[in-house]
């Protein structure tokens, strides 16, 4: 299985470029693929302030019956009136998807040649509470982490023969390090039997680690979000965001691979190298926390994190401490949005 990062494709021209890029690499052919659909499917939409979406032609880059899209991200709420249309289109085209709430937390079940996987997706509540849906009853999967954890635990206990992958949308834009709380959550999910834990959202590779023989990746980076289109043409990414990882999972931890790509100035995806997840040069460089315990990492995170201005440090993912920090983070973003709106 291949696991990709964030995808937002603004028009048919960019979709054609992505299709061409993907088809030149055998890596992407005839494999299960899990990808974050950063925004709903919407054609011929103007590039409005701070909104993302995907042109329908982008689906041609992926194989139906083998691709799972996550809709559990903050930009799904940019156009809440089109959530149902996106779900219907994905079903019609034969794609799997997850991320929209049902009556209970339910994963996508998909089978490979040898294995059966359950894909759980989740979006950090800080984002769904600050970019909410007031148009209809569609809700993104954003349960409190403790609730999510407990539901995954029950599923694992009842389905020992299924490999569980938890695919998160978390952390802040352009943060290079995982939150201590997210690292702890990932560790505990592995402890209860998850096969792998993968995260996205920061638009930068945040590295990963092997924990108790299993893969954790905190951020893959953008898979494909072209600069100069979204946010009225003002959304651009720095050079470090042009590098992204495609993770190739395997039953044997020694066979797990990192495929590194770079998006060039013409928005073409170029492969840099393939390396071992365990000891590859690039993955090791972007994962400075690999040998740190929780206490050591909290100290390191405080000193080296990017986001600092009134940003709380999440040390736990459950209890009053987490809830209080989440409250602060939500209202920090709401205040920032209010100030930006007032200035306009």
Residue 344 has pLDDT above 60, yes or no: no
What's the pLDDT band for 265 if we cut at 50, 70, 90?
confident
| Angle ∠(217,222,111) on CA atoms, nearest 5 | 60
Residue 280 has pLDDT above 80, yes or no: yes
What's the pLDDT band for 258 if we cut at 50, 70, 90?
very high
pLDDT the model gives residue 343: 64
Q: Which of 83, 72, 97 is nearest to 138 (CA)?
A: 83
What's the pLDDT band for 138 if we cut at 50, 70, 90?
very high
What's the pLDDT band for 162 if we cut at 50, 70, 90?
very high
Calculate the dihedral angle through the C-alpha atoms of 92, 94, 98, 99, rounding to the nearest 10 degrees.
-40
Mean pLDDT of 319-336: 92
Mean pLDDT estimate for the chain: 94
pLDDT the model gives residue 211: 98
Mean pLDDT of 172-184: 96
Q: Which of 184, 108, 101, 181 is nearest to 143 (CA)?
A: 101
Mean pLDDT of 157-186: 97
Reading the block at residue 102, the tokens are: 């049902």
Mean pLDDT of 259-276: 92
Q: Are 205 and 247 in contact (CB under 8 A)?
A: no
pLDDT the model gives residue 172: 93
Residue 132 has pLDDT above 90, yes or no: no
Residue 299 has pLDDT above 70, yes or no: yes
> Using CB atoms within 10 A of its CB, is residue 111 exposed (0-12), middle (13-18) or buried (19+)?
exposed
Rounded to 5 degrees, φ, ψ at 3 are: -120, 125
**What would be the CATH architecture of the domain defined by 2-304?**
4-Layer Sandwich (3.60)
Q: Are 214 and 177 in contact (CB under 8 A)?
A: no
Q: Are 75 and 112 in contact (CB under 8 A)?
A: no
């Amino acid at each position: 299985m291949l696991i990709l990062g964030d995808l937002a494709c603004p028009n048919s021209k960019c979709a054609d470029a992505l299709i061409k890029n993907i088809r030149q690499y055998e890596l992407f052919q005839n494999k299960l693929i899990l990808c974050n659909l950063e925004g709903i499917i919407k054609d011929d939409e103007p590039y409005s302030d701070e909104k993302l979406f995907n042109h329908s032609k982008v689906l041609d880059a992926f194989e139906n019956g083998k691709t799972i899209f996550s809709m559990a991200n903050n930009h799904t709420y940019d156009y809440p009136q089109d959530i149902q249309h996106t779900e219907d289109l994905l079903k019609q085209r034969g794609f799997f998807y997850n991320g929209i709430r049902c009556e209970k937390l339910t994963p996508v079940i998909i089978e490979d040649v040898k294995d059966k996987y359950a894909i759980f997706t989740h979006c950090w509540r800080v984002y769904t509470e600050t970019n909410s849906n007031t148009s209809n009853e569609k809700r993104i999967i954003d349960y409190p982490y403790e609730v999510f954890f407990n539901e995954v635990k029950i599923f694992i206990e009842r389905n020992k023969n299924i490999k569980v992958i938890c695919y998160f949308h978390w952390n802040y834009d352009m943060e290079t390090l995982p939150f201590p709380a997210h690292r702890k959550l990932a560790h505990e999910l592995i402890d209860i039997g998850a096969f792998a834990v993968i995260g996205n959202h920061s638009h930068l590779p945040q590295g990963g680690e092997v924990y108790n023989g299993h893969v954790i990746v905190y951020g893959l980076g953008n898979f494909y979000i072209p600069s100069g289109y979204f946010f009225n043409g003002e959304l651009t990414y720095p050079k470090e965001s042009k590098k992204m990882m495609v993770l190739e999972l395997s039953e044997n931890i020694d066979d797990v691979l990192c495929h590194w790509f770079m998006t060039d100035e013409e928005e073409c995806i170029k492969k840099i190298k393939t390396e071992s997840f365990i000891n590859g040069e690039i993955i090791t460089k972007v994962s400075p926390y690999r040998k740190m315990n929780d206490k050591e990492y909290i100290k390191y995170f405080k000193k080296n994190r990017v986001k600092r201005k009134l940003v709380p440090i999440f040390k736990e993912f459950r209890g009053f401490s987490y809830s209080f920090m989440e409250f602060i983070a939500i209202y920090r973003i709401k205040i920032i949005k209010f100030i930006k709106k007032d200035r306009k």
